[in-house]
């Protein structure tokens, strides 16, 4: 198995290599970001979370990065990382109710709406337990959510206020239509929704739900449940669908990565488990932390909780890489899409033109080369963008060229089906 974390950097020069003593190891390279978006500050209730890359097929230089910022709504950036649009979250329906909170976002292309083909940005709204759906028109997002679409998981506003609501999200398309996978906060449940045009608006209908395990039987026969807030099950957030094979990958944050048919039929299968899998712990409400016992060693070797953003870089039909944010050690694990999803190695994003990336949540990647991003664009959330010593806390998004990741990660990755 490859080493658990390969730290890579772009500053090693040929001169330094030639000058090194014969017995010295080759200089280590680093993966670095090309640029970053403006900081979003906690004091403004703005918290960067998840990106989705929209490609303008007619004018690729006008492509967009659509992102969620929770209570601060949606931020849209251009390929230079500059803000081009901000959408406020929806207001609370009542005085004691929560306002909108956009958590994850993904895209649907060529959706037939009101006699035209449009691309859609679809976001999970944790505050409202529904979706925010936006048509992308002339480079701007326009809200087309059906006003009477209803809640996804809840049956009353009181249940919505309990916050066991829409959380993670991933879209996919088949010949039969456009679908959305939505996970549920504080639950192990995932719902399959089908999008449907309703005049000038878009609504949805629930097809089925899947409940992943919340308790697990360990090799020694004992029962284990991840330590978390009392009454909460291990939830899913990061999700992605390989449309070529119809396979969904679901990141259960404190457990591991599952794969299952995208229509949520069949039995889910664990691709990999977190290092902390099986670790005994007791939740302490006073400290809001878990006190852990000795590690029995049942977990995996790669992923450190939380397991967050999942995204796919395709290199051909059914071929490519599954990327997963290992938030606990600030790395990204890479798995082969084929077969049993072999682990290929990990990389971290180090300081370069912009600062390094820590505690990354959402991520998205496209394999189409875009202006300034040969081999494709990888966008990741940086959960600790604040310079050391600053009083306030900020987050943002980092942009990377996939070619840089492939060439400097040490993982022998492909770029657009060509080995670099």
Q: What percent of the chain has pLDDT over 70?
A: 91
pLDDT in tens, 255-285: 999 999 999 999 999 999 999 999 999 988 8
Lowest mean pLDDT across 14-28, 110-124, 170-184: 14-28
Confidence of residue 390 (pLDDT cuts 50, 70, 90): low
pLDDT at 21 over 80: no
Structural domain spans, the chain: 14-419
User: Taking the model in full, what pTM does it have?
Assistant: 0.92
Across 231-260, average pLDDT:
96
Lowest mean pLDDT across 12-16, 104-108, 175-179, 348-352: 12-16
The pLDDT, as a whole number, for residue 1 is 44
Secondary structure string (H, E, C) spanning the chain: CCCCCECCCCCCCHHHHHHCCCCCCCCCCCEECCEECCCEEHHHCCCCCCEEEECCCCCHHHCEEEEECECCCEEEECCCCCEEEEECCCCCCCCCCCCCCEEEEEEEEEEEECCEEEEEEEEEECCCCEEEEEEEECCEEEECECCCCCCCCCCCHHHHHCCCCEEEEEEEEECCEEEEEEEECCCCEEEEEEEEEECCEEEEEEEEEEECCCCEECCCCCEECCCCCCCCCCCEEEEEEECCCCEEEEEECCCEEEEEECCCCCCCEEEEEECCCCCCEEEECCCCEEEECCCCCCCCCCECCCEEEEEEEEEECCEEEEEEEEHHHCEEEEEECCCCCCEEEEECEECCCCCCCCCCCCEEEECCCECCECCCEEEEEECCCCCCCCCCCEEEEEEEEHHHHHHHCCCCCEECCEEC
Q: What percent of the chain has pLDDT over 90?
A: 85
Confidence of residue 375 (pLDDT cuts 50, 70, 90): very high
Across 8-26, average pLDDT:
36
The pLDDT, as a whole number, for residue 417 is 58
Across 333-357, average pLDDT:
96
pLDDT at 386 over 70: yes
pLDDT at 16 over 70: no
Higher-scoring residue by pLDDT: 392, 279: 279
Confidence of residue 43 (pLDDT cuts 50, 70, 90): confident
Give yes or no for a contact between 411 and 2, defined as CB atoms under 8 angstroms apart.
yes
Across 226-249, average pLDDT:
93
pLDDT in tens, 46-90: 999 999 999 999 999 999 999 999 999 999 999 999 999 999 999
Which CATH entry fits the domain spanning 14-419: 1.10.260.40, 2.120.10.30, 2.40.10.220, 3.65.10.10?
2.120.10.30
pLDDT in tens, 174-199: 999 999 999 999 999 999 999 999 99
The pLDDT, as a whole number, for residue 24 is 36
Across 84-104, average pLDDT:
96
Lowest mean pLDDT across 11-15, 137-141, 165-169, 268-272: 11-15
Mean pLDDT of the chain: 91
Distance CA 33, CA 350 (A): 8
pLDDT at 391 over 80: no
pLDDT at 17 over 50: no
């Amino acid at each position: 198995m490859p080493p658990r974390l390969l730290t890579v950097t772009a500053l090693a020069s040929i001169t330094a290599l030639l000058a090194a003593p014969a017995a010295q190891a080759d200089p280590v390279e680093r993966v670095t970001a090309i640029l970053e978006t403006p900081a979003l500050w906690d004091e403004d209730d703005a918290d960067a979370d998840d990106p989705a890359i929209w490609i303008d097929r007619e004018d690729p230089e006008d492509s967009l990065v659509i992102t969620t910022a929770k209570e601060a709504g949606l931020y849209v950036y251009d390929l230079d990382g500059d803000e081009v649009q901000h959408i406020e979250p929806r207001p609370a329906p009542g005085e004691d109710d929560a306002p909108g909170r956009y958590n994850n976002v993904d895209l649907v292309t060529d959706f037939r709406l009101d006699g035209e083909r449009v691309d859609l940005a679809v976001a999970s709204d944790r505050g409202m337990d529904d979706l925010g759906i936006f048509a992308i028109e002339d480079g701007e997002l326009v809200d087309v959510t059906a006003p009477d679409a209803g809640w996804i998981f809840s049956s009353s506003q009181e249940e919505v206020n309990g916050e066991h609501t829409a959380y993670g999200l991933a879209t996919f398309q088949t010949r039969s239509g456009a679908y959305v996978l939505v996970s549920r906060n504080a639950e192990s449940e995932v719902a399959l929704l089908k999008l449907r045009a309703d005049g000038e608006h878009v609504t949805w209908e629930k097809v089925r739900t899947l409940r992943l395990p919340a308790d697990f039987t360990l090799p020694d026969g004992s029962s284990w449940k991840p330590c978390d807030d009392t009454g909460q099950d291990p939830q899913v957030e990061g999700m992605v669908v390989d449309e070529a094979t119809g396979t969904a990958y679901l990141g259960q944050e404190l457990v591991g990565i599952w794969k299952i048919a995208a229509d949520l039929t069949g039995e889910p299968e664990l691709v990999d488990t977190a290092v902390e899998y099986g670790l005994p712990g007791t939740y302490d409400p006073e400290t809001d932390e878990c006190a852990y016992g000795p590690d029995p060693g049942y977990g995996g070797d790669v992923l450190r909780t939380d397991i967050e953003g999942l995204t796919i870089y395709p290199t051909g039909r059914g071929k490519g890489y599954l990327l997963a944010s290992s938030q606990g050690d600030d790395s990204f694990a890479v798995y082969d899409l084929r077969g049993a999803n072999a682990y290929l190695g990990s990389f971290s994003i180090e300081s370069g033109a912009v600062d390094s990336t820590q505690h990354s949540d959402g991520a998205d990647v496209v394999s189409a080369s875009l202006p300034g991003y040969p081999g494709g664009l990888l966008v990741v959330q940086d959960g600790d963008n604040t310079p050391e010593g600053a009083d306030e806390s900020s987050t943002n998004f980092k942009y990377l060229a996939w070619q840089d990741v492939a060439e400097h990660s040490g993982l022998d990755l492909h770029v657009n089906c060509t080995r670099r």
